[in-house]
Amino acid sequence: MELNDLAQRRGEWLRGTGAESDIVLSSRIRLARNLVQFPFINRADDTVRAEIERTVRSQLTDVSLGGPRTYLEVDHLERLDRQFLVERQLISRELADSHGARAVYFTDEENVSLMVNEEDHLRMQVFHSGFDLDACWQQISRLDDQLEDCLPFSYSQELGYLTACPTNAGTGIRVSVLLHLPGLVMTGEVKKVFTALQKINLAVRGLYGEGTQAMGDFYQISNQITLGKAEEKLIRSIKDVVPNIIAYERRVRKALVEENRAAIHDKIARAYGTLRSAQAISSQETMDLLSSVRMGVNLGFIDDLPLATVNELFLQIQPAHLQKLRKTVLDSGDRNAARAAYLRRRLTDASSASDTTLG
């Protein structure tokens, strides 16, 4: 698939379907693996990195990723293209900014991606829209088995899969869910959630893995511990806690509407209005306003906008996506104008399209 074709598409994690998808955008599991015959990336010079990449590429022809796939040599990509893949969560920022031979495989559906020469030789991840960690685990464990048939992994009986950083040793698993929590953020309750999660060794990050100051009220919750507990147990620790957070967010939203219906409606209507009429807008402001709009759709204050469109906009207003869609390189000032124009068009189209279907 051509990279430019991707810009028009939504990708698995923004599909907006699946269980609890009003609050849980997506579920993801990644596994870290290293090949026995090579040093870790830290001690691999560019020659060795190239050899690792070749070894993986030669063995991967027989491996099924569950659909047609694209293979990209990340070191041969332009900076904009690398940024674009980071925004889509197909590669990590670390892989984008690293050096030497490195690559990514991903399926057309963008539900499976496999990074070569990231922090570990192999980083594979599986996404599912909504709250569905079991499906992620079944799929990624199967992929892991297939890879292991042709690529011997570093493993010890004592410490499990051996990874470049001891924080990933053992299972090498990172289980995460991406949650939209505008109600908990608005009421300040979100801090209590974080404290409770940290007590049970779960981590909280923003959408693109930045600090806890999350853009658009999106939070990723993931496990910290990888050693000494079986994968299913680590998955269960997330599976058990997420329904509580969902219930908490719903409760807070309900209370907000009951106590301050007019104020909430006003906030949402203003956010929607600004997005439909602004002439220049930053990605930070857009994310914040889209967050209110997304909640407005879920609460029924906005009825002419599909949730899937809102999800898609969160991605398409990101700097690299915007430039891909405009097919031109833009500086930050131009991007703000282009972003506003894009939002005006998409949000007007969306509401007039749904008017016609309703009309």
* Contact positions vs other proteins (CB under 8 A): 34, 36-43, 47-48, 119, 141, 144-145, 148-162, 164-167, 169-171, 198-199, 201, 203, 224-233
Residue placing its CB nearer to other proteins in the complex, 43 or 327 = 43
Residue with tokens 């379907």: 17
3-class DSSP string for the chain: CCHHHHCCCCCHHHCCCCCCCCCEEEEEEEEEECECCCCCHHHCCHHHHHHHHHHHHHHHHHCCCCCCEEEEEHHHCCHHHHHHHHHCCCCCHHHHHCCCCCEEEEECCCCEEEEECCCCCEEEEEEEECCCHHHHHHHHHHHHHHHHHHCCECEECCCEECCCCHHHCECCEEEEEEEECHHHHHCCCHHHHHHHHHHCCEEEECCCCCCCCCHHHEEEEEECCCCCCCHHHHHHHHHHHHHHHHHHHHHHHHHHHHHHHHHHHHHHHHHHHHHHHCCCCCHHHHHHHHHHHHHHHHHCCCCCCCHHHHHHHHHHCCHHHHHHHHCCCCCHHHHHHHHHHHHHHHHHHHHHHHHHHHC
Residue placing its CB nearer to other proteins in the complex, 141 or 274 = 141
Q: How far is the CB of 72 from other proteins (least distance, A)?
A: 25
Q: How far is the CB of 236 from other proteins (least distance, A)?
A: 12
Q: How far is the CB of 39 from other proteins (least distance, A)?
A: 4
Residue placing its CB nearer to other proteins in the complex, 39 or 319 = 39
Residue placing its CB nearer to other proteins in the complex, 2 or 45 = 45
Q: How far is the CB of 350 from other proteins (least distance, A)?
A: 40
Check if the beta carbon of residue 193 is closer than 8 Å to that of residue 245: yes
Cβ within 8 Å of residue 323, ≥6 positions away: 80, 329, 330, 335
Residue placing its CB nearer to other proteins in the complex, 94 or 189 = 94
Q: How far is the CB of 51 from other proteins (least distance, A)?
A: 9
Q: How far is the CB of 240 from other proteins (least distance, A)?
A: 16
Bridge partners for 69 per DSSP: 107
Q: How far is the CB of 37 from other proteins (least distance, A)?
A: 5
Residue placing its CB nearer to other proteins in the complex, 5 or 148 = 148
Residue placing its CB nearer to other proteins in the complex, 46 or 78 = 46
Residue placing its CB nearer to other proteins in the complex, 132 or 144 = 144
Residue placing its CB nearer to other proteins in the complex, 139 or 323 = 139
Residue placing its CB nearer to other proteins in the complex, 155 or 337 = 155
Check if the beta carbon of residue 122 is closer than 8 Å to that of residue 63: no
**How far apart are alpha carbons 52 and 303 in whole angstroms?**
52
Q: How far is the CB of 160 from other proteins (least distance, A)?
A: 3
Q: How far is the CB of 230 from other proteins (least distance, A)?
A: 4
**Pairing mode of beta strands 69-73, 103-107:** antiparallel
Q: How far is the CB of 234 from other proteins (least distance, A)?
A: 8
